[in-house]
Amino acid sequence: METAEFRIAGTSKYNEDSPVPRPIQLETERLTLLAGTLDIARAEARDRAALSALLGANIHPRWPPDEHDKAAREFFLGYLTEHPDAVGFMGWSWLLRANESDGRPLLIGGGGFKGLPLEDGTVEIGYSIVEEYYGRGLATEAVRALVAWAFGDARVCRIIAETLPHLRASQRVLEKNGFVRAEEAAADLGAIRYTLPREIWMRRAQ
């Protein structure tokens, strides 16, 4: 049985009054995941050099992946501008540690959530990774840590994800993390929806 193995390396300054401090950095076996702040979202949308400085990382020459397009970056920026308390429930930068060329990590992927939990406790997860790193289990590793992080918030009752029927690799990432096909239709035309209720995740984590 697979469980999430990661180390919390920080807490969010936007949630200092919360009874449960929120991490801004997760360490998995091979990755450092950094929760996107408003400053990071601004840099990601408009200033590649500033993004590299804020992350303390090199940026892959083929960044961003196709799925992480301009519209997605502007969405994250707009949401965090309106909801500064949403750090952690928006994008996370995925850094591959120990780049052999200069000792700096390398930005190779991104993923996270599409906003704060809804009234029914639902959050939606999404992710993308530079094609060079397909097939190495990195997305599965990152999603596992992000799912565990989200369920650390008592407001979250289930996590959903939407993908396209031909993206079998994306579907496998979800399935390896306990997601199953949902009965309800996806919001996006032509997509399929997966779901992971808290109780299913908890049984897998035991």
What pLDDT, in 10s, does the model give residues 128-156? 999 999 999 999 999 999 999 999 999 99
Q: How far apart are CA 186 and CA 133, in angstroms?
A: 27
* 1 located within any domain: no
Phi-psi region at 37: left, alpha or beta (left = phi > 0; alpha = psi -120 to 50): beta
Least confident of 31-40, 68-77, 151-160, 193-202: 68-77
Give all strands (DSSP E) within the chain, no chain letters: 7-8, 25-27, 31-35, 58-59, 91-96, 106-113, 122-129, 158-163, 180-181, 192-197
DSSP-assigned states of every residue in 122-171: EEEEEEEE-GGGTTSSHHHHHHHHHHHHHHTSTT--EEEEEE-TT-HHHH
* 107 located within any domain: yes
Contact (Cβ atoms closer than 8 angstroms) between residue 26 and residue 8: yes
Q: Which domain holds residue 140?
A: 7-205
Question: For residue range 76-124, what is the model confidence (pLDDT) as tens digits?
Answer: 999 999 999 999 999 999 999 975 566 889 999 999 999 999 999 999 9
Vertex 26: Cα angle to 23 and 29 (nearest 5)? 160
Give the domain CATH number at 150. 3.40.630.30
* 125 located within any domain: yes
pTM above 0.75, yes or no: yes
Total of domains in the chain = 1
Q: How far apart are CA 113 and CA 102, in angstroms?
A: 31
* 48 located within any domain: yes
* 2 located within any domain: no
What pLDDT is attached to residue 203?
92
Q: Which DSSP letter does residue 85 get?
A: G
Beta bridge partners of 63: none
